[in-house]
Amino acid sequence: MTNQRFVFAWLVVPTLAAAGATLEAAGTTHSFAAAIATTALVVSFYFFDRKSSSAVATGTALPNPLGETRPADLKSDTAMIDPGSANEGTWEAPGTISDEVVVMNARATEAQIDSVISRLIELGMDVHRSSGVTSTVLRVVGALKIDPDLIRILDGVYEVLQIAEPYKLASRTFKPEDTVVTVGDVRIGGDEVIVMAGPSSAETEEQVHATAAAVKRAGAKILRGGAFKPRSSPYSFQGLGEEGLRMLRSAADAQNLKLISEVMDISQIELIVRYCDIFEVGARNMQNYTLLRELGHASKPVLLKRGISATIEEWLLSAESILAGGNNDVILCERGVRTFETATRNTFDISAIPVVKKLSHLPVVADPSHGAGRRDMVAQLARAAVAVGADGLIIEVHNDPDHALSDGARSMHPSQFDRLMAELRIIAPAIGRSICLDAVARRGWVR
């Protein structure tokens, strides 16, 4: 489009002006010739105005490569080129737009700058050039995603900076208002802090039913429980599979709870979707992109745990893989990351909660059980997570944790969970949120 505009401005406009002059010379009435010339003038002003305003916007919007703000130095010398066809290093990404700045070396030659511009154009990008006293920066915009490393390796390039987040659909820039994931009458990401609780794994009918009854009584809205377990050791209990799902569903239904359970592989999706209301993607599978892509087409929400060593950006990019498939119901879950510290199983990254709430519109829940790895610290972390703004919690509770087949040490006794819920009922209103108040009324807690 842009190129065509300039071709129009430079070729068509003078032609119209010349036609006006010729017509006048040929004896056509003066006013007709003047009308044609005026049209030519107006059209040319339109195009020149567009060109210069785009150049000014480019010059002032660009960060100075030296960290100084000197917009006056930036003489804008704008090249705007239509994106061509997709090339090696670019790919179509739904809803994404490249927005990068290429900072040239202070001593980059004109030939190097031209060659970088040519390469960007070849990759289908629009390029806006701004040259300051000491260096040149190129703003690169396009409807295709560009691999920054392809540009970093070019001669004369100092750095390629991303000026928008690499994830789009998950970002607040894309969707400023909070996403609320709805499961029946349960709303995750709204005013109410939603608590999911239950055993690490389903073991027996009695264990699942007793635990579901206990967490319901305390105020949980969603039963958690694993049927397919990702265990570090192949000799540990691996879960009961479909039998476990059946037990969990019947206990959830008996208590009027929703159900969340872990999916480890695409082959399990079809089975799990028949029993559960929410898929859990565990920390070890946060980068299982085949699974994430498939869940992008699933009909039920996905709780995506942060990977054991994942940065927040990697975590949000994984969420993006689900969102890109069309499933908008993604819930993020901070569950602790691996650090140099050995006193706790993981380091519960409490600051990740406000960071992610700022970067993304998706609900964020916290898993203090896997964060601490010890039941005597779960309540403290759970309280902190709610205070810091988590939209919910997912907590391991077992009716007899000392005899649990998985994660007994981090599973709370029902009485501990009960007390924690009572404490959360004091914390949540202090930050303007609610948390399952119906159980309070029923039990008459006064604190």
Radius of gyration in angstroms for the set of CA atoms belonging to the chain, rounded to a whole number? 30
230 binds, among Mn ion, ligand PEP, none (CB under 5 to 8 A by kind): ligand PEP
Task: Name the residue type at position 444.
Answer: G
Among 277, 349, 407, 418, which residue interacts with Mn ion (rule: CB under 5 A)? Answer: 407
Judged by CB under 6 A, the residue of 335, 345, 375, 410 near ligand PEP is 335
Instruction: Tell me the C-alpha distance between 375 and 248, whole Å.
Output: 22
Q: Which is nearer to Mn ion, 232 or 299 (CB)?
A: 232
**Minimum distance, C-beta of residue 372 to Mn ion, in the bound complex (Å):** 12
Q: Answer yes or no: are the C-beta atoms of 410 and 403 closer than 8 Å.
A: no
Q: Which of 83, 132, 226, 373 binds ligand PEP (CB under 6 A)?
A: 226
CB-CB contact of 173 with 165 (8 Å)? yes
For ligand PEP, which stretch binds (CB under 6 A), given 60-68, 239-247, 282-290, 414-422?
282-290
Q: Is 389 one of the binding residues for ligand PEP (CB under 6 A)? A: no
Residue 282 binds what, of Mn ion, ligand PEP, none (CB under 5 to 8 Å, by partner type)?
Answer: ligand PEP
CA distance 282 to 131: 49
Residue 161's DSSP bridge partners are 101
Site string for Mn ion, 169-208 (x = CB under 5 A): -------------------------------x--------
CA 99 vs. chain centroid, Å, equals 17
Say if residue 382 is exposed, middle or buried (CB neighbours under 10 Å; 0-12, 13-18, 19+). Answer: buried
User: Rule CB under 6 A: which of 161-190 touch ligand PEP?
Assistant: none
Nearer to ligand PEP, 13 or 362 (CB): 362
Q: Could you give the CA distance from residue 411 to residue 106 in angstroms, rounded to a whole number?
A: 59
282, 296, 368, 392: which one binds ligand PEP (CB under 6 A):
282
Phi, psi of 303 (to 5 degrees): -95, 120
Applying the rule CB under 6 A, the residues between 188 and 217 that interact with ligand PEP are: 200
Residue with tokens 């399990």: 268
Residues 6 or more apart whose Cβ sits within 8 Å of residue 140: 98, 99, 100, 101, 102, 120, 125, 126, 127, 146, 151
- Residue pair 187/176 in contact (Cβ under 8 Å)? The answer is no
Packing angle, helices 205-218 and 414-430, rounded to 10:
30
Main-chain dihedrals φ then ψ at residue 407, nearest 5 degrees = 55, 35
Q: Does 283 bind ligand PEP (CB under 6 A)?
A: yes
Query: Smaller CB distance to ligand PEP: residue 119 or 258?
Result: 258
Q: Candidates 230, 241, 325, 389: give the one binding ligand PEP (CB under 6 A).
A: 230
- Minimum Å gap between C-beta 355 and ligand PEP is 19
Among residues 71 and 230, whose Cβ is nearest to ligand PEP? 230
Minimum distance from CB of 147 to Mn ion (Å)? Answer: 38
**Contact region for ligand PEP (CB under 6 A) — 139-147, 208-216, 235-243, 280-288?**
280-288
Among 129, 221, 249, 370, binds ligand PEP (CB under 6 A): 370
The set of residues, in sequence order, having a beta carbon less than 8 Å from that of 251 and lying 6+ positions away, is: 208, 209, 211, 212, 213, 223, 257
Residues that bind ligand PEP (CB under 6 A): 200, 226, 230, 282-284, 305, 335, 367, 370
Residues that bind Mn ion (CB under 5 A): 200, 407
